[in-house]
């Protein structure tokens, strides 16, 4: 049979994407990462075809005995990393994790206080996203523009006045930790729960570069598992409150998830083990790389937020690029040079500036996973300068980027496991796509 043209087309699209993003680009999207080849091998398994509604040992389908084992192992490992007694891995995204917890903690018409959008609240925390879809009233904490963070004193007064059902900290765009302990003390004084969305910083938490929210006042932590934590895309919930866990467990299924994408589980377990053994070195390098990139960009004249605070303590760097044409234009120019970032609202931007906001958001976690260190951040900053300040043709810089990226093709901070050895031990590894084809 002749291969249908559309089949050739889609396979070529996949091959072109793999080659471009994994071997020719500098990826600085703050919400992305890559799994190790070993985790990818575990991910590409038969579990992706199967159903396992319910909990291990209490499924609504037969044929899940190995899925049950995988889920139990993954829960155990993730719980150890987060020092959490109770772990729920069935949410298929961080947003679904948030939705589950919000639904448990409040009913339609109740009120929740969230971190300011300027201080990084994710859209799922807001009236425009999951919170609004659940009919929960969104009240925003005051913002401190000097410290690029929650205004603690005014937030405490607001919590004491409003007496919300819960308070949300953490988010998607933040350079510095939120004031968890102070906010948690105020929330608990009015019988409100504290939810910490650790999606962006989970890897920094388990790598011991950020404080564990469960040890500093959070009642429950929600997260995704694919940002600074370099696992498969998915969600997770952690708590040490048994009663709260039971409600969460009864809510995630069947209200928000049916089948929970089972092939995530073994891949997540592999990544958890990688973070157990290599996570501290990885998280440390991520934070050092972010700081060095910010310093280097600043030295070239870029307007990097947070200079007086040391620029950043997370994996993120924020640039104000209004003088360079705005975030949309800058992101497009950099993409032409094979440098991938995203446009982003900055604290001073009105919500309707989303099409061309003032800023771009940069994350160094993926390039760190490929082995880049501080000196390589200086090279990246120079690429930024060439494209955005010197106005060098992006296509010329693109060739330099591709040559530079050739040094960083192997995922680091993982186990040096010979896949042939696994096969010889009767542990056959599933089909693995050759990304270099």
The CATH number of residue 103's host domain is 3.40.640.10
Band of the pLDDT at 66, cuts 50, 70, 90?
A: very high
Q: Which uninterrupted H or E stretch holds 363?
A: strand 359-363
435 assigned to some structural domain: no
What integer pLDDT is reported at residue 428 of this predicted model? 66
What integer pLDDT is reported at residue 431 of this predicted model? 47
Average pLDDT over residues 112-121: 89
Average pLDDT over residues 157-169: 98
Closest alpha carbon to 181 in 220, 216, 148, 142: 216
151, two tokens: 């205004």
Strands (E), 40-128: 54-55, 58-59, 86-88, 111-114
Q: Cis check for the bond before 254: say yes or no (omega within 30 of 0).
A: yes
Compute the distance between CA of residue 284 and CA of residue 330 in angstroms, rounded to an integer. 29
Closest alpha carbon to 282 in 417, 176, 373: 373
Compute the distance between CA of residue 119 and CA of residue 121 in angstroms, rounded to an integer. 6
Check whether 372 has a pLDDT greater than 80. Answer: yes
Could you tell me whether strands 316-320 and 303-304 are parallel, antiparallel, or unpaired per DSSP bridges? antiparallel
What integer pLDDT is reported at residue 435 of this predicted model? 42
* Mean pLDDT over each residue of the chain, to the nearest integer: 95
Band of the pLDDT at 420, cuts 50, 70, 90?
A: confident
Separate counts of helices (H) and strands (E) for the chain: 15, 17
SS3 call for 76: helix
122 assigned to some structural domain: yes
Band of the pLDDT at 422, cuts 50, 70, 90?
A: confident
Query: How many CA atoms are closer than 13 Å to the CA of 242, on its beta-carbon side?
Result: 0
Could you tell me the residue range of the domain that residue 239 belongs to? 40-271
Tell me how many domains the chain contains. 1
Average pLDDT over residues 379-406: 98
Q: Cis check for the bond before 385: say yes or no (omega within 30 of 0).
A: no
**pTM confidence score:** 0.95
90 assigned to some structural domain: yes
**Beta bridge pairs of residue 222:** 197, 237
425, two tokens: 């031990």
Q: Give the contacts of 256 (CB within 8 A, at least 6 positions apart).
A: 91, 96, 99, 100, 103
Q: Are 150 and 162 in contact (CB under 8 A)?
A: no
The share of the chain scoring above pLDDT 90, in percent, equals 89
230 assigned to some structural domain: yes
Q: Are 66 and 262 in contact (CB under 8 A)?
A: no
Torsion angle defined by CA atoms of residues 124, 125, 128 and 132, in that order, rounded to the nearest 10 degrees: 100
Could you tell me whether strands 111-114 and 137-140 are parallel, antiparallel, or unpaired per DSSP bridges? parallel
Closest alpha carbon to 175 in 364, 313, 361, 365: 313
Structure-token match 């771009």, residue found: 360
Count the Cβ atoms, other than its own, within 10 Å of residue 84: 21
Check whether 434 has a pLDDT greater than 70. Answer: no
Q: Which uninterrupted H or E stretch holds 99?
A: helix 94-105
Q: Which uninterrupted H or E stretch holds 223?
A: strand 220-224
Strands (E), 99-179: 111-114, 137-140, 143-144, 149-150, 166-170
Band of the pLDDT at 374, cuts 50, 70, 90?
A: very high
174 assigned to some structural domain: yes
Summarised one tens digit per residue, pLDDT across range 22-61 is 999 999 999 999 999 999 989 999 999 999 999 999 999 9
Summarised one tens digit per residue, pLDDT across range 298-337 is 999 999 999 999 999 999 999 999 999 999 999 999 999 9
How wide is the angle at C-alpha 174 spanned by C-alphas 165 and 271, nearest 5°? 90
C-alpha 255, offset from chain centre: 24
Given 3-state DSSP classes, what are the helix, strand and coil percentages for the chain, each rounded to the nearest 5? 50, 15, 40
45 assigned to some structural domain: yes
The pair phi, psi for residue 22, each rounded to 5°, is -95, -15
What integer pLDDT is reported at residue 430 of this predicted model? 59
């Amino acid at each position: 049979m002749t291969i249908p043209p559309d089949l050739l087309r889609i396979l070529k699209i996949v091959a072109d994407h793999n080659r471009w993003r994994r071997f020719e680009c500098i990826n600085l999207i703050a919400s992305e990462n890559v799994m190790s080849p070993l985790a990818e091998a575990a991910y590409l398994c038969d579990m992706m075809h199967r159903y396992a509604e319910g909990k291990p040992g209490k499924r609504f389908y037969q044929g899940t005995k190995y899925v049950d084992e995988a889920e139990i192992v993954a829960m155990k490992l993730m719980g150890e990393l987060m020092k959490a007694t109770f772990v729920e891995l069935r949410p298929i995204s961080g947003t679904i994790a948030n939705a589950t917890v919000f639904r448990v903690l409040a009913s339609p018409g109740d009120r929740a206080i969230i971190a300011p959008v300027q201080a990084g609240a994710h859209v799922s925390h807001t009236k425009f996203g999951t919170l609004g879809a659940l009919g929960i009233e969104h009240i925003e904490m005051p913002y401190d523009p000097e410290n690029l963070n929650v205004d603690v004193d005014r937030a405490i007064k607001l919590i004491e006045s409003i007496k919300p059902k819960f308070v949300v900290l953490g988010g998607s765009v933040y350079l510095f930790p939120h004031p968890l302990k102070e906010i948690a003390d105020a929330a608990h004084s009015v019988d409100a729960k504290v939810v910490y969305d650790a999606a962006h910083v989970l890897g920094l938490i388990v790598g011991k570069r950020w404080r564990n929210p469960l040890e500093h006042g959070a009642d429950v932590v929600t997260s995704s598992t694919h940002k600074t934590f370099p696992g498969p895309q998915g969600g997770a919930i952690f708590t040490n409150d048994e009663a709260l866990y039971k409600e969460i467990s009864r809510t995630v299924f069947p209200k928000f998830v049916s089948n929970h994408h089972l092939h995530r589980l073994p891949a997540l377990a592999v990544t958890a083990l990688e973070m157990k053994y290599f996570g501290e070195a990885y998280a440390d390098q991520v934070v050092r790389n972010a700081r060095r990139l910010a310093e280097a960009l600043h030295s070239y004249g870029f307007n990097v937020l947070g200079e007086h605070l040391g620029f950043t303590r997370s994996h993120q760097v924020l640039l104000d690029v209004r003088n360079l044409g705005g975030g949309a234009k800058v992101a497009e120019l950099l993409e032409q040079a094979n440098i991938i970032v995203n446009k982003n609202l900055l604290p001073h931007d009105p919500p309707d500036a989303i099409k061309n906001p003032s800023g771009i958001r940069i994350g160094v976690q993926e390039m760190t996973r490929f082995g880049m260190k501080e000196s390589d951040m200086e090279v990246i900053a120079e690429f930024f300068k060439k494209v955005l300040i010197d106005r060098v043709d992006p296509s010329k810089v693109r060739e330099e980027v591709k040559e530079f990226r050739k040094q960083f093709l192997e995922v680091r901070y993982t186990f040096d496991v010979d896949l042939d050895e696994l096969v010889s031990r009767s542990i056959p590894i599933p089909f693995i796509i050759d990304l270099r084809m």
